[in-house]
Chain A
Amino acid sequence: MDPLWESRVLETRRQFFSRAATGIGAAALASLIHPGLASGLSEVQGAPRGIGPHFAPTAKRVIYLFQSGAPSQLDLFDHKPTMRDRFNTDLPESIRMGQRLTTMTSGQDRFPVAPTIFKFAKHGQSRAWVSELMPHTASIADELCFIKTVHTEAINHDPGITFMQTGSQIPGRPSMGAWLSYGLGSENADLPAFIVLISQGSSKRPDQALFSRLWSTGFLPSEHQGVQFRGEGDPVLYLSNPAGVNRTSRRRMLDAIAALNAQQFRRAGDPEINARVAAGELAFRMQASVPELTDLSTEPESTFDLYGQDARTPGTYAANCLLARRLAEKGVRFIQLYHRGWDQHGDLPSDIRLQCGDTDQASAALVLDLKRRGLLDDTLIVWGGEFGRTIYSQGTLTETDYGRDHHPRCFTVWMAGGGIKRGMSYGTTDDFSYNIVDKPVHVHDMNATILHCLGIDHTRLTYPFQGRDFRLTDVSGTVVNDILL
């Protein structure tokens, strides 16, 4: 028996109508009733529209400055002055309370407290603590909201990042950007709603891997997949026409393929066929929009003074921050940056300096640049890693050198713009920055808050899959109203 015929016969009335109610189903229906309409549908209606917002958004887009590898909250933001006196003493069991450890330190004889060697100071009217490693970030402290008490469930990098971005440690769920693309759609039909930019850290430790499934669409329709822009060569692979193929012949090719796909779609009814057509159409429009976007020659000198001269080198964190601003101006919904190299198990003091050198000025510049352009008002910036780092030293502790292991129980994330309170520090950790004393913010809470800023009720942004409705925050998450304007 023909499997296509079989699947059609087995389709229930309910399945048919639930499909017909959503955009793709409606388009399919339209194409059945009036063939030829489907191909023009997206053109006529502009960018595809999502299913939200549920209430008035305070942010229209997100720039997520992900610091991959987990930066040490102890050396950057979470100031613990009393630790100086406990240098090289053992971490009390009353603090650790049997906390599981990674295999990298579980074999250690003792867990000596390693106070930071960096100086902290209070900054701005908000008197926020920032260490000397981040002078530029310190200078914009009044724009930021430091959440000191984010905690996660994972203790290793990949489950950690996967959890931060998809709400599950197990791969396969949609990424936050894909959820937002699905929920809110794209404003700019010429660019993807979800764009990924990756930069390499300067620290000498081997970087943690990043997998493209981190910006995966999971079980959501494929067009919500994040699109990675590369740092060198063509920003998007295979986007340029081959030599001798011009735009008109490409157009004819796409039209012919779309016609064939429409035939196949009428036969098979698989919505992924339409996603493929949409991808081809988007790529065609991106052939014009991407080169313009990545051409930084129109930026004045003052831009590079602000972001740092690194911003002239494609693929650096600074260049990606600048690109993020340009993408924000173009209405891209979710701009995901990853900066690798924060995994400082050893040689922390020297490596963290290099990492801060990569990121500090450009992160601050992005906030300032968006602010003066009037875009910070509706752009939410999130800075943070997948977990924190331990107060105790991994490996040998000296007066000038130490390392820190993974620490999921508390870490610092800062947010800015898009409806988040300015100049605020939220939550308290204990003297060891080991446990949360006040106002814990679980990853699900943080993600619920981010969705809230975009006008989405995180319990209502769901997608049916394998017999139940899924959502970014799983079955948990509370919006942190205290940090909202």
Chain B
Amino acid sequence: MSPGTRMKRKLFLLSLVLVASACSPALAAGLSPTSTPSVLENIPRLIGRLHPVVVHFPIALLAVAVLFEVIAIVVKKERIRPSTSGLACVVIGALGACIAAWAGWLNADLEPHGKGVADFVEVHRWLGITTAGLAALALVGGLFGATGKARGMTALYRVTLVLAAGAVGVTGHWGGSIVYGKGYLTEMLFPRSAPQAPDIEAILAELEAAETTLTIDFATQIAPIFANNCIKCHGPDKSKGGLRLDAWQYVFDDRDADEQVIIPGDAFSSDLSFRIALAPDDEDAMPPEGKGDPLTPADVALIETWINEGAIWADVPIIAPAIEVAESDEPSEKAAADPMLVFDEAAQARQAEVLIALRDRGVVAQQLILNEPWAEVRFDLRREGVTNADFALLEQLAPTLISLNLAGTSITDQELVLLSRLGVLQRLHLERTAITDEGITHLTSLSQLRYLNLHHTAITDQGLITLASLPALEHLYLWETGVTPQAAALLGALKPTMLVEIGKAPTPADFDTQPEEHESEN
């Protein structure tokens, strides 16, 4: 066998190996992960996990081969053949590249990786395949060029080698991004601007603006969730994972920038809100399986909203501050308790404007009867407290406002003064509020009030004396107040047309003993 034939046979075999290894990823792609694999079934995954080991061959060797080639050209003025040392590097480097690409293909398919890096994986995969292809091409060119008979092949070898060395670098960068995160390298080159000293003025302004839009109160809604579900493991006793949730400084100040679990304004990227929303059996779920019940969807939603609203933290539980009653606020119009209301086009337009303004504030505000002046407003379905801005709008609505629901809101005794100007009010819901006997003295001017709901307030018999003077009152609800049945009965006797409901619900025992009523006519 002549040396040439032997050379050709070698080349043929080598090419076969290259083609086979290039094809194998495609064959492996048909495989998919199984739930309970045997050792044999695990072999593809094992090969896949060799990817990080094998990749270093092409990375180093292709670059070194370029170096040898540069030396050969510059120092030895070699024009015809590739450098022998370089070609030796390319043989191993190209084989390594093909094997690495194959193992990498398996790895990408068979190993779970975060959804966030799926794009990186795709880019890395095809760059890797390209690199392997270029390296293989370089090898073929190099082997033919080494015969000294084909200068063209040497040129091909040199061009593809440089391209392959470049490609391996780019591929490696994307691979690194998968492992270490985007911008791992570049953030050292282009450091992000250092956090600036907080601008107190700006923060205050922001807080003030936020006060009107926030729907979540940290002290009453979020702190209890933390206290009940998290503090046992993330508090003063234990701080699992180095995390404490019992004060602002532990959560934000004491943690490095990349360890922040709450990113204010961005629940989507916050580790805390991500992990509490995971299925309880997920290994990253919080609280971990067996360490407490999962948070309710309502709690999760609250926390997400709170984070999205800027994760405003309060050091102590805050009771909604009493809003100062603006003394200087002059009523724009004198509330006319006149039933002969003039409701012309201008008044209609004004009312529509106020109703829309109220609706914009998340309040139910509508005409009680379509296209008639009488308006009703419900604050009870909104989660925020009532603010001065709300009262200002109500005052503008005073001439037509006949039904107002403030149940469960933050209204205070002081603020009830503002209601005294609602001259045509007929229905008023004040149940489940903090008002007292003192506050309802402001209601005596409501001469048309027919319905008053004071259920679950601190009203006592003292308040009843005030209410007795309301001329139009027909329905008075006093369940779960300090009013005694005797006083309620007295008021009922005093005002026979008035329904005074103190809600003494019959107990089951009452139901069973109905002795009086057995007039069966059988």
Q: A243-B279, A246-B267, A331-B364 are in contact. Are A291 and B297 (CB under 8 A)?
A: yes
- Determine whether B277 belongs to the interface, using a CB cutoff of 8 Å to chain A: yes
**Do A287 and B268 touch (CB < 8 A)?**
no
**Do A248 and B267 touch (CB < 8 A)?**
yes
Q: In the complex, which residues 235-294 of chain B have their Cβ closer than 8 Å to any Cβ of chain A?
A: 266-268, 273-274, 277-279, 282
> Nearest residue in B to A306 (C-beta to C-beta)?
B505
**Do B368 and A295 touch (CB < 8 A)?**
no
- Determine whether A26 belongs to the interface, using a CB cutoff of 8 Å to chain B: no
Chain B residues, CB < 8 A from A292: 298
- Determine whether A188 belongs to the interface, using a CB cutoff of 8 Å to chain B: yes
Q: A84-B522, A135-B512, A368-B505 are in contact. Are A377 and B278 (CB under 8 A)?
A: no
- Chain B's nearest CB lies how many Å from the CB of A250? 10
Task: Give the CA-CA distance A44 to B361 in the complex, in Å.
Answer: 9
**Do A119 and B517 touch (CB < 8 A)?**
no
Q: A47-B364, A49-B366, A121-B517 are in contact. Are A331 and B381 (CB under 8 A)?
A: yes
Chain A residues, CB < 8 A from B356: 45
Q: When the two chains form the complex, which single residue of B359, B431, B507 contacts A374, counting CB atoms closer than 8 Å?
A: B431
**Partner-binding segment picked from A30-38, A50-58, A194-202, A209-217:** A50-58
Residue from A249, A287, A368, A373 having most chain B Cβ neighbours under 10 A: A373
**Do B277 and A377 touch (CB < 8 A)?**
no
- Chain B's nearest CB lies how many Å from the CB of A182? 13
- Chain B's nearest CB lies how many Å from the CB of A63? 18
Q: When the two chains form the complex, which single residue of B359, B451, B522 contacts A44, counting CB atoms closer than 8 Å?
A: B359
**Do B514 and A135 touch (CB < 8 A)?**
yes
Chain A residues, CB < 8 A from B183: none
Task: Give the CA-CA distance A188 to B518 in the complex, in Å.
Answer: 45
**Do A123 and B364 touch (CB < 8 A)?**
no
**Do B505 and A246 touch (CB < 8 A)?**
no
Q: When the two chains form the complex, which single residue of A122, A247, A291, A295 contacts B519, counting CB atoms closer than 8 Å?
A: A122
Q: In the complex, which residues 108-152 of chain A have their Cβ closer than 8 Å to any Cβ of chain B?
A: 119-124, 135-136, 138-139
- Chain B's nearest CB lies how many Å from the CB of A261? 22
**Do B506 and A53 touch (CB < 8 A)?**
no
Q: Mark B351-385, 1 if CB is under 8 A from A, else 0.
A: 00000100110111110111000100010010000
- Determine whether A469 belongs to the interface, using a CB cutoff of 8 Å to chain B: no
- Chain B's nearest CB lies how many Å from the CB of A118? 10
**Do B505 and A369 touch (CB < 8 A)?**
yes
- Chain A's nearest CB lies how many Å from the CB of B354? 14
Q: When the two chains form the complex, which single residue of A139, A372, A455 contacts B511, counting CB atoms closer than 8 Å?
A: A139
**Do A51 and B519 touch (CB < 8 A)?**
no
Task: Give the CA-CA distance A105 to B259 in the complex, in Å.
Answer: 77
- Determine whether A330 belongs to the interface, using a CB cutoff of 8 Å to chain B: yes
Q: Mark A256-300, 1 if CB is under 8 A from B, else 0.
A: 000000000000000000000000000000011001100100000
> Nearest residue in A to B298 (C-beta to C-beta)?
A291
**Do B451 and A377 touch (CB < 8 A)?**
yes
**Do A119 and B304 touch (CB < 8 A)?**
no
- Determine whether B508 belongs to the interface, using a CB cutoff of 8 Å to chain A: yes
**Do B378 and A331 touch (CB < 8 A)?**
yes
Q: A244-B279, A246-B277, A374-B453 are in contact. Are A53 and B368 (CB under 8 A)?
A: yes
Q: A45-B356, A248-B308, A455-B369 are in contact. Are A121 and B506 (CB under 8 A)?
A: no
Chain B residues, CB < 8 A from A364: 511
> Nearest residue in A to B429 (C-beta to C-beta)?
A374
Q: A46-B364, A295-B298 are in contact. Are A54 and B359 (CB under 8 A)?
A: no
Q: A244-B277, A330-B381, A331-B378 are in contact. Are A56 and B368 (CB under 8 A)?
A: yes
> Nearest residue in B to A248 (C-beta to C-beta)?
B268
Task: Give the CA-CA distance A330 to B364 in the complex, in Å.
Answer: 12
Chain B residues, CB < 8 A from A288: 298, 301-302, 305
- Determine whether B32 belongs to the interface, using a CB cutoff of 8 Å to chain A: no
- Determine whether A81 belongs to the interface, using a CB cutoff of 8 Å to chain B: yes
Task: Give the CA-CA distance A260 to B446 in the complex, in Å.
Answer: 52
Q: When the two chains form the complex, which single residue of A55, A241, A247, A331 contacts B267, counting CB atoms closer than 8 Å?
A: A247
**Do A373 and B431 touch (CB < 8 A)?**
yes
Task: Give the CA-CA distance A46 to B366 in the complex, in Å.
Answer: 11
- Determine whether B144 belongs to the interface, using a CB cutoff of 8 Å to chain A: no
Chain A residues, CB < 8 A from B503: 371-373
- Chain A's nearest CB lies how many Å from the CB of B97? 36
- Chain B's nearest CB lies how many Å from the CB of A281? 15
- Determine whether B125 belongs to the interface, using a CB cutoff of 8 Å to chain A: no
- Determine whether B94 belongs to the interface, using a CB cutoff of 8 Å to chain A: no
- Determine whether A187 belongs to the interface, using a CB cutoff of 8 Å to chain B: yes
> Nearest residue in B to A372 (C-beta to C-beta)?
B503
Task: Give the CA-CA distance A306 to B503 in the complex, in Å.
Answer: 12
Residues of A in contact, count (CB < 8 Å): 58
Q: A121-B519, A247-B267, A373-B455 are in contact. Are A51 and B370 (CB under 8 A)?
A: yes
Q: When the two chains form the complex, which single residue of B268, B300, B370, B517 contacts A52, counting CB atoms closer than 8 Å?
A: B370
**Do A46 and B267 touch (CB < 8 A)?**
no
Chain A residues, CB < 8 A from B507: 305
Q: When the two chains form the complex, which single residue of B279, B298, B501 contacts A371, counting CB atoms closer than 8 Å?
A: B501
Chain A residues, CB < 8 A from B304: 246-248
Task: Give the CA-CA distance A136 to B505 in the complex, in Å.
Answer: 12
Q: When the two chains form the complex, which single residue of B364, B374, B477, B511 contacts A373, counting CB atoms closer than 8 Å?
A: B477
**Do A123 and B505 touch (CB < 8 A)?**
no
Chain B residues, CB < 8 A from A53: 368-370
Task: Give the CA-CA distance A54 to B371 in the complex, in Å.
Answer: 9
- Chain A's nearest CB lies how many Å from the CB of B124? 24
**Do B268 and A138 touch (CB < 8 A)?**
no
Q: In the complex, which residues 337-364 of chain A have their Cβ closer than 8 Å to any Cβ of chain B?
A: 361, 364
Q: In the complex, which residues 305-333 of chain A have their Cβ closer than 8 Å to any Cβ of chain B?
A: 305-306, 330-331
Chain A residues, CB < 8 A from B366: 49
**Do B514 and A139 touch (CB < 8 A)?**
yes
**Do A295 and B297 touch (CB < 8 A)?**
no
- Chain A's nearest CB lies how many Å from the CB of B148? 61
Q: When the two chains form the complex, which single residue of A55, A188, A291 contacts B369, counting CB atoms closer than 8 Å?
A: A55
Task: Give the CA-CA distance A120 to B429 in the complex, in Å.
Answer: 40
**Do B360 and A44 touch (CB < 8 A)?**
yes
> Nearest residue in B to A455 (C-beta to C-beta)?
B369
Q: Mark B482-522, 1 if CB is under 8 A from A, else 0.
A: 00000000000000000001110111101110100111111
Task: Give the CA-CA distance A285 to B274 in the complex, in Å.
Answer: 19
Chain A residues, CB < 8 A from B232: none
Chain B residues, CB < 8 A from A44: 359-360
Q: A331-B364, A374-B501 are in contact. Are A188 and B381 (CB under 8 A)?
A: yes
Task: Give the CA-CA distance A57 to B274 in the complex, in Å.
Answer: 47
- Determine whether B68 belongs to the interface, using a CB cutoff of 8 Å to chain A: no
Q: When the two chains form the complex, which single residue of B451, B453, B517 contacts A122, counting CB atoms closer than 8 Å?
A: B517
Residue from A120, A135, A372 having most chain B Cβ neighbours under 10 A: A372
Q: Mark B71-94, 1 if CB is under 8 A from A, else 0.
A: 000000000000000000000000
> Nearest residue in A to B304 (C-beta to C-beta)?
A247
Chain B residues, CB < 8 A from A88: none
Q: Mark A377-392, 1 if CB is under 8 A from B, else 0.
A: 1000000000000000
Task: Give the CA-CA distance A282 to B349 in the complex, in Å.
Answer: 30
- Chain A's nearest CB lies how many Å from the CB of B311? 13
> Nearest residue in B to A56 (C-beta to C-beta)?
B369
- Determine whether B475 belongs to the interface, using a CB cutoff of 8 Å to chain A: yes
Q: What are 12 sample pairs from A and B whose C-beta atoms fall under 8 A apart? A: A46-B364, A51-B370, A120-B522, A123-B514, A135-B514, A138-B517, A240-B297, A246-B267, A291-B296, A295-B298, A361-B508, A372-B455
- Extra contacts besides A46-B365, A247-B301 (7): CB < 8 Å: A56-B369, A119-B522, A120-B521, A291-B296, A373-B477, A373-B479, A374-B431
Question: What is the interface of chain B, defined by CB distance below 8 A to chain A?
Answer: 266-268, 273-274, 277-279, 282, 296-298, 300-302, 304-305, 308, 356, 359-360, 362-366, 368-370, 374, 378, 381, 429, 431, 451, 453, 455, 475, 477, 479, 501-503, 505-508, 510-512, 514, 517-522
Question: What is the interface of chain A, defined by CB distance below 8 A to chain B?
Answer: 44-47, 49, 51-57, 79, 81, 84, 119-124, 135-136, 138-139, 187-188, 190, 240-241, 243-249, 252, 287-288, 291-292, 295, 302, 305-306, 330-331, 361, 364, 368-369, 371-374, 377, 455
Nearest 5 A/B pairs, CB to CB: A372-B503, A243-B279, A374-B477, A248-B268, A374-B453
